A and B are shown apart, each in its own frame.
Chain A
Amino acid sequence: MAQAPKIQIRNLYKIFGSDPASALEQVKAGMGKDELLAKTGHVLGLENISIDIREGAITVVMGLSGSGKSTLIRHINRLIEPTDGQVLIDGEDALLLGTEALREKRRTGMSMVFQKFALLPHRSVLDNAALALEVRGISQSERHKEAYVWLDRVGLGGYENHYPHQLSGGMQQRVGLARALTSNSDIMLMDEAFSALDPLIRSDMQKLLLELHVELKKTIVFITHDLDEALRLADHLVILKDGAVIQQGEPQSILTTPTDPYIEAFVSDINRARVLRVRSVMTPLNQEITYAGDVGPDDTLESLITLSDGNTSYNFRVVEGEIPIGQIDMKDLVKALVPRVSAAEHQPL
């Protein structure tokens, strides 16, 4: 855990408009997004963002449409230039890279998956998947060999010679995923990669991504507007609103202790039994109780409800590996299912 973050974003600001420098001064002096737009015509895209992105983990950035998610992720590969702040990749300032060095970084260091797939319509699936290697100047036979492997891994074996328009949306995004995997980069940037897909297909893709992640341990930055998706994938969750981070941390803790009415509103809509885990609800061990059974700390509350058959008088012991680390009372569990109600929600409509 002591290891330095793969990507560090430090006090990042982005302002869209004709004179961002002077608008930046006003923002730093405390002007808000709406006021800035009304007074100067500049759009505050990102405001003072600082995030540490851990190596080998999935960092999910969540926010409503227009909250600046796409703008943020495009700063990591500098498709968008910041107005102020730093982006460090492996401790190195990515903003100091020259054109050629930046291109090299994009070719070998990071890959990206897009909401609208953005495949090349005039190239076969195989050539699309091999794009990153083609850009690097690797020979056709070698890059096709690599692309075959990854297309097969994402479940598209046999479709190599099709064209993108012959595939369904889900399959096209598998090509997008294979294209990113073929580049064999450490960092994968995914901008609402699954948002355009049907719910069932989306769930399949999430499963595939998690499997791949266990196997490859890439550093993934995943953008979504969907909390269920965020909770399913995230090791670290960042919540964005109007271009600013309003809470970030371990997803379970955001769920149990939201710090902002905006997040509470988000959180109240989800199936908590399915996403909350025993670890977030358990209490320290109490020797005097008899336990109805042993459960793991990462079991969902839903599985416990099934296990207890709905009986709230039970207690379970929480065991990690062989060691007991806590206990869980079914009454606490039921309480945890009800979202914390804030003052904001009681305001008259």
Chain B
Amino acid sequence: MAYYDSLFNGLGLRVWCDAEPGSANVSMASLLAKTNPDTANTGPVFPFPSMDELYQACSSFPQSRDFTAAVETGFLNIKDVLKSVLDPLTQPLSWLLEFALFSFLTTPWWIIIPLILWLVWYVCRSVNIVAFVTLSFVFLGFIDHLDAALQTLAIITVCTGICILFGVPIGIAMAKSNPLERALIPLLDLLQTLPTFVYLIPLIFLFSVTEPKLYGIAIIVYAIVPVIRLTNLGIRLVDQDVVEAVNAFGMSPKQKLLGVEIPLAMPNIMAGVNQTIMMSLAMVVIASLVSAPGLGVLVLRGIRNLELGVGLIAGLGIVLLAVILDRVSKAAIARVSSGQTYR
């Protein structure tokens, strides 16, 4: 007899318990118990009153498997509604990603690499960094990893661009409104603390794995947090004496935002962009689980097939990309900040 029988008897629920047969779900523990009757009742002396334990005493009581099943049905029930809203909204993301992947891969290497180098030069004006980027790309090309690296880069470019497009305005709105800040901070905290894999679970149900927006959304939701946070912080940290001065000269809110607040917050916003880029890179590797192309796929292959060399070399490529992205964006920050000195 189960440990909690007397509880249900005492509460006078015995009739209810035996009235209908319990759920059809069979737990692993009870299966084992059936095949091996000796261990059936050798549980702990005072078992925790968990759902499964209570179920043993009363078959009308739900098992914990029913609970997870209910969550699943609940999600599947709203899935169609959610999908009908989200699908058209996010479709442009798929197009953008497809377009970026297509154009990065079909442009001949002797155009795309100089283009990237020119961009690096334009952003940070540093010979050392351009030289390092050149060497890295030559190396990646030489070991036939250029395409994978470019795919990764294409995804990061699109996702970071979208993060900035949405993150900066959200950050500004947060800086202007205390209630909005109070409402968003717990959400941002949540997004940052959720393990990266957890993002993928609901997304897999919502979108088909063949659609690029599946991993696009996962990356964006994960990487947008720092740019929002640091834009908010940057705008709030703008010297209030300066803000007062431009108010005294009659600046409109728009003139103030574009001419004073955003320029003065720029070092902080750029620091947020730097973190966003690095987090996109981290997520794009994990997103290869849901068909994101690029170096992550090779790492995954290394793990799945125990191809040590493939995994390690792809990992090295990711490290190179990470160093490049970090150096370039930090050099850009330094260039932006050098125009300003803080007392």
Contact = CB atoms under 8 A, between A and B. Distances in A.
Interface of A: 77, 79, 103-108, 110-112, 114, 116, 118-122, 131-132, 134-135, 163, 165, 179, 183, 189
Given A120-B260, A122-B263, A163-B339, A183 B241 contact: no
B249 A118 contact: no
A69 B83 CA distance: 61
B339 A135 contact: no
Contacts of B249: 106-107, 111-112, 131-132, 135, 179, 183
Given A79-B247, A163-B339, A165-B341, A118 B252 contact: no
Among B249, B251, B252, B264, max chain A CB count under 10 A is at B249
29 contacts: A79-B244, A79-B247, A103-B250, A105-B250, A106-B249, A106-B250, A107-B249, A107-B250, A114-B244, A116-B241, A118-B239, A118-B242, A119-B242, A119-B245, A120-B246, A120-B260, A120-B264, A121-B242, A121-B264, A121-B340, A121-B341, A122-B339, A132-B250, A134-B259, A135-B246, A135-B255, A163-B341, A165-B341, A183-B249
Contact of B244 (A118, A134, A135): A118
B266 to A, nearest CB: 8
Interface in B232-273: 239, 241-242, 244-252, 255, 259-260, 263-264
B267 to A, nearest CB: 10
A122 B251 CA distance: 17
A132 B263 CA distance: 18
A264 to B, nearest CB: 35
Given A112-B249, A120-B246, A121-B341, 5 more contacts: A105-B250, A106-B250, A116-B241, A118-B244, A122-B263
Nearest to B242: A118
A104 B249 CA distance: 9
Contacts of B245: 112, 114, 118-119
A175 to B, nearest CB: 12
Contacts of B244: 79, 114, 118
A158 B214 CA distance: 59
Contact of A122 (B241, B252, B255, B264): B264
A15 B248 CA distance: 21
Contacts, number: 65
A20 B15 CA distance: 67
Given A118-B241, A120-B242, A112 B248 contact: yes
Nearest to B252: A103
Nearest to B248: A112
Contacts of B242: 118-121
A104 B263 contact: no
A114 B239 CA distance: 13
A192 to B, nearest CB: 12
Nearest to B245: A118
Contacts of A111: 248-249
Contacts of B252: 103
Nearest to A107: B250
Nearest to A110: B248
Interface string B329-343: 000000000011110
Nearest to A104: B250
Contacts of B255: 135
A114 B241 contact: yes
B131 to A, nearest CB: 30
Contacts of B246: 120, 131, 135
A223 B223 CA distance: 50
A44 B259 CA distance: 35
Which of B244, B248, B252, B263 counts the most chain A CB atoms within 10 A? Answer: B248
A86 B312 CA distance: 76
Contacts of B339: 121-122, 163
Contacts of A108: 250
Interface in B129-185: none
Q: What 7 pairs between A and B have smallest CB-CB spacing?
A: A106-B250, A107-B250, A118-B245, A165-B341, A112-B248, A118-B241, A103-B250
Nearest to A183: B249
Contacts of B342: 121
A189 B259 CA distance: 23
Interface string B299-343: 000000000000000000000000000000000000000011110
A104 B239 CA distance: 24
A112 B248 CA distance: 7
A122 B247 CA distance: 17
Nearest to A164: B341
A307 B341 CA distance: 52
A220 B246 CA distance: 19
A166 to B, nearest CB: 9
B340 A135 contact: no
A320 to B, nearest CB: 40
A179 B239 CA distance: 18
A135 B264 contact: no
Nearest to A185: B249
Name the residue in A105, A118, A183 with the highest tally of chain B Cβ atoms < 10 Å from its Cβ. A118
A124 to B, nearest CB: 10
Nearest to A137: B255
A132 B248 CA distance: 10
B260 A77 contact: no
A189 B239 CA distance: 20
Contacts of B264: 120-122
Contacts of B248: 77, 79, 106, 110-112, 189
Contacts of A79: 244, 247-248
A189 B340 CA distance: 27
